[in-house]
Amino acid sequence: MPSFEGRKRIVLQPNDSGVPYRFEFPIASAVDANDGAIPHGDSISSVVATAYDAAGSDVSSQIAGTPTTGADYVVVPLSYPTTSGEGSYKLTMVITTVNGINLEFDYDRIRAVDL
């Protein structure tokens, strides 16, 4: 089963606060298919989102708001990190499916910049 691969860069600017970003996690089309991030017949039940700076420090309280979920997506409100400031950030999402499977996905294309 392929892992989630985010392709677009997220740029956070100083006035960004609670901007909702949607991350898609396709459900496999069949039991033996390798075309999804979530197993066939399953869906997302909950998620824990943690944000890290380039040094690996947890900066979730500055960047990531409370996530919400749908069957195959997660929405995380993101804000500019006023304390940490400009730099590169990573969002780790640990998804628990309805069937109790835990899956970890990393999105490392977040950049905070004052343009």
The Cα–Cα gap between 69 and 115 comes to 31
Identify whether 2 is part of a domain: no
Residue 79 confidence (pLDDT): 97
Q: How many domains does the chain have?
A: 1
pLDDT at 74 over 50: yes
Lateral strand order in the sheet of 10-12: 10-12, 102-112, 87-97, 44-53
Q: What is the pTM (predicted TM-score) of this model?
A: 0.90
pLDDT at 2 over 60: no
Identify whether 21 is part of a domain: yes
pLDDT at 85 over 60: yes
Identify whether 1 is part of a domain: no
CATH of the domain at 97: 2.60.40.1220
pLDDT tens column, 19-48: 999 999 999 999 999 899 999 999 999 999
